[in-house]
Amino acid sequence: MQVTKENKTKREEKRSDDDFNKSEEKSVEERLLKVRRVSTKRAGGSSFHFSVLAVAGDRNGNVGVAIAKSKENTLAIQKAKDRAKKAMFNVPITEDGSIPHEVYIKDGPSILYLKPAPQGAGIIAGGSIRHILELAGYKNVSAKIIGTNNQINNSYTLAKALKSLRK
Protein backbone atom coordinates (compact mmCIF):
# COMPACT_ATOMS: atom_id res chain seq x y z
CA MET A 1 0.00 0.00 0.00
CA GLN A 2 1.32 3.37 -0.99
CA VAL A 3 1.34 6.27 1.42
CA THR A 4 -0.66 9.10 -0.06
CA LYS A 5 -0.79 12.72 0.95
CA GLU A 6 -4.20 12.19 2.60
CA ASN A 7 -2.88 9.35 4.77
CA LYS A 8 0.10 11.43 5.78
CA THR A 9 -2.03 14.35 6.88
CA LYS A 10 -4.25 12.04 8.91
CA ARG A 11 -1.17 10.64 10.63
CA GLU A 12 0.15 14.12 11.28
CA GLU A 13 -3.23 15.12 12.72
CA LYS A 14 -3.23 12.06 14.95
CA ARG A 15 0.26 12.93 16.19
CA SER A 16 -0.77 16.49 16.96
CA ASP A 17 -3.85 15.17 18.84
CA ASP A 18 -1.62 12.83 20.85
CA ASP A 19 0.72 15.70 21.68
CA PHE A 20 -2.28 17.78 22.79
CA ASN A 21 -3.55 14.98 25.05
CA LYS A 22 -0.10 14.53 26.59
CA SER A 23 0.19 18.25 27.34
CA GLU A 24 -3.34 18.19 28.79
CA GLU A 25 -2.44 15.25 31.05
CA LYS A 26 0.68 17.01 32.28
CA SER A 27 -1.44 19.73 33.85
CA VAL A 28 -3.18 17.12 36.03
CA GLU A 29 -1.38 16.48 39.30
CA GLU A 30 -1.76 13.17 41.14
CA ARG A 31 -1.14 12.21 44.76
CA LEU A 32 -1.27 8.94 46.62
CA LEU A 33 -3.20 9.28 49.85
CA LYS A 34 -2.90 5.73 51.12
CA VAL A 35 -1.21 2.46 50.14
CA ARG A 36 -2.26 -0.65 52.05
CA ARG A 37 -0.91 -4.19 51.89
CA VAL A 38 -3.81 -6.54 52.47
CA SER A 39 -3.32 -10.24 53.22
CA THR A 40 -5.83 -13.05 52.81
CA LYS A 41 -5.45 -16.51 54.28
CA ARG A 42 -5.82 -19.26 51.68
CA ALA A 43 -5.37 -23.02 51.69
CA GLY A 44 -1.82 -22.66 50.34
CA GLY A 45 -0.88 -19.90 52.78
CA SER A 46 -1.26 -16.13 52.76
CA SER A 47 -1.81 -14.15 49.57
CA PHE A 48 -1.03 -10.45 49.47
CA HIS A 49 -2.45 -7.66 47.36
CA PHE A 50 -2.27 -3.86 47.48
CA SER A 51 -5.01 -1.29 47.82
CA VAL A 52 -4.26 2.32 46.82
CA LEU A 53 -6.24 5.54 47.34
CA ALA A 54 -5.30 8.30 44.88
CA VAL A 55 -6.47 11.82 44.08
CA ALA A 56 -6.00 13.75 40.83
CA GLY A 57 -6.61 17.44 40.25
CA ASP A 58 -5.59 20.34 38.05
CA ARG A 59 -5.73 23.06 40.78
CA ASN A 60 -8.28 24.82 38.61
CA GLY A 61 -11.63 23.43 39.74
CA ASN A 62 -11.35 19.77 38.68
CA VAL A 63 -10.65 16.93 41.10
CA GLY A 64 -11.19 13.17 41.30
CA VAL A 65 -10.79 10.50 43.98
CA ALA A 66 -10.45 6.75 43.34
CA ILE A 67 -9.33 3.48 44.88
CA ALA A 68 -7.79 0.49 43.08
CA LYS A 69 -6.50 -2.95 44.03
CA SER A 70 -3.93 -5.25 42.45
CA LYS A 71 -1.50 -8.01 43.33
CA GLU A 72 1.43 -5.74 42.48
CA ASN A 73 2.09 -2.37 44.06
CA THR A 74 2.98 -0.51 40.86
CA LEU A 75 -0.11 -1.79 39.04
CA ALA A 76 -2.37 -0.76 41.90
CA ILE A 77 -0.83 2.73 41.94
CA GLN A 78 -1.22 3.17 38.18
CA LYS A 79 -4.81 1.89 38.24
CA ALA A 80 -5.73 4.25 41.08
CA LYS A 81 -4.21 7.26 39.30
CA ASP A 82 -6.01 6.42 36.04
CA ARG A 83 -9.33 5.93 37.83
CA ALA A 84 -8.91 9.21 39.69
CA LYS A 85 -8.36 11.03 36.38
CA LYS A 86 -11.46 9.39 34.90
CA ALA A 87 -13.53 10.24 37.99
CA MET A 88 -12.67 13.96 37.88
CA PHE A 89 -15.53 16.38 38.35
CA ASN A 90 -15.85 20.16 38.33
CA VAL A 91 -16.17 22.18 41.56
CA PRO A 92 -17.10 25.87 41.97
CA ILE A 93 -14.39 28.20 43.28
CA THR A 94 -15.09 31.79 44.35
CA GLU A 95 -12.88 34.75 43.45
CA ASP A 96 -11.04 34.58 46.78
CA GLY A 97 -10.31 30.84 46.32
CA SER A 98 -12.95 29.52 48.68
CA ILE A 99 -16.18 27.52 48.52
CA PRO A 100 -19.42 29.40 47.74
CA HIS A 101 -21.30 28.36 50.91
CA GLU A 102 -21.13 26.20 54.02
CA VAL A 103 -21.69 22.44 53.72
CA TYR A 104 -22.62 19.89 56.39
CA ILE A 105 -22.78 16.29 55.19
CA LYS A 106 -23.02 12.89 56.85
CA ASP A 107 -21.99 9.90 54.76
CA GLY A 108 -21.62 6.59 56.58
CA PRO A 109 -19.47 7.11 59.69
CA SER A 110 -17.99 10.41 58.43
CA ILE A 111 -19.46 13.78 59.32
CA LEU A 112 -17.91 16.66 57.34
CA TYR A 113 -18.30 20.38 57.88
CA LEU A 114 -16.88 22.74 55.22
CA LYS A 115 -16.88 26.48 55.67
CA PRO A 116 -15.53 29.36 53.55
CA ALA A 117 -12.47 30.95 55.15
CA PRO A 118 -11.42 34.61 54.87
CA GLN A 119 -8.81 35.74 52.38
CA GLY A 120 -5.32 34.61 53.41
CA ALA A 121 -6.45 32.01 55.93
CA GLY A 122 -5.27 29.07 53.83
CA ILE A 123 -6.63 25.54 53.93
CA ILE A 124 -7.48 24.66 57.52
CA ALA A 125 -7.99 20.90 57.29
CA GLY A 126 -6.20 17.74 58.19
CA GLY A 127 -5.33 14.42 56.63
CA SER A 128 -6.53 13.54 53.18
CA ILE A 129 -9.01 16.45 53.14
CA ARG A 130 -6.19 19.00 52.78
CA HIS A 131 -4.64 17.20 49.79
CA ILE A 132 -7.96 16.93 47.94
CA LEU A 133 -8.83 20.60 48.53
CA GLU A 134 -5.35 21.70 47.35
CA LEU A 135 -5.60 19.71 44.13
CA ALA A 136 -9.12 21.05 43.53
CA GLY A 137 -7.68 24.57 43.55
CA TYR A 138 -9.09 25.96 46.80
CA LYS A 139 -6.91 28.40 48.75
CA ASN A 140 -9.12 29.46 51.70
CA VAL A 141 -11.31 26.75 53.22
CA SER A 142 -11.93 25.56 56.77
CA ALA A 143 -12.90 21.90 57.24
CA LYS A 144 -13.68 19.64 60.16
CA ILE A 145 -14.28 15.90 59.90
CA ILE A 146 -15.77 13.95 62.79
CA GLY A 147 -16.63 10.31 63.31
CA THR A 148 -13.78 8.39 61.72
CA ASN A 149 -10.09 8.59 60.86
CA ASN A 150 -10.50 6.31 57.83
CA GLN A 151 -8.98 8.20 54.89
CA ILE A 152 -11.02 6.30 52.31
CA ASN A 153 -14.37 7.18 53.92
CA ASN A 154 -13.26 10.77 54.52
CA SER A 155 -12.11 11.22 50.91
CA TYR A 156 -15.35 9.93 49.43
CA THR A 157 -17.38 12.05 51.87
CA LEU A 158 -15.46 15.16 50.77
CA ALA A 159 -16.02 14.27 47.11
CA LYS A 160 -19.76 13.95 47.80
CA ALA A 161 -19.74 17.33 49.60
CA LEU A 162 -17.88 19.07 46.76
CA LYS A 163 -20.34 17.65 44.23
CA SER A 164 -23.22 19.10 46.26
CA LEU A 165 -21.86 22.68 46.09
CA ARG A 166 -23.99 25.18 44.19
CA LYS A 167 -22.39 27.87 42.08
| Class of the CATH domain delimited by 26-89 | alpha beta
Return the pLDDT at 20: 45
User: 1.20.1250.20, 1.10.10.10, 3.30.450.40, 3.30.230.10: which CATH number matches 92-163?
Assistant: 3.30.230.10
Give me the residue spans of the domains in the chain.
26-89, 92-163
Amino acid at 124: I
Q: Give the per-residue pLDDT at 12.
A: 55
Q: What mean pLDDT, rounded, does the chain reach?
A: 87
**Nearest 5°: phi and psi at 154?**
-65, -40
DSSP category for residue 92? -
pLDDT at 10: 53
Q: What is the pLDDT of residues 81-129, one digit of tens each?
A: 999 999 999 999 999 999 999 999 999 899 999 999 999 999 999 889 9
More confident residue, 44 or 76: 76
pLDDT of residue 84: 96
- Model confidence at 4, in pLDDT bands (50, 70, 90)? low
User: What pLDDT is attached to residue 9?
Assistant: 56
Average confidence (pLDDT) over 122-144: 94
Is pLDDT of 14 > 90? Answer: no
d(CA 131, CA 113): 16
Q: Which helix (H) or strand (E) holds 93?
A: none
**What is the rounded CA–CA span in Å between residue 161 and residue 46?**
38
Q: At what angle do helices 128-136 and 151-163 cross, to 10 degrees?
A: 30
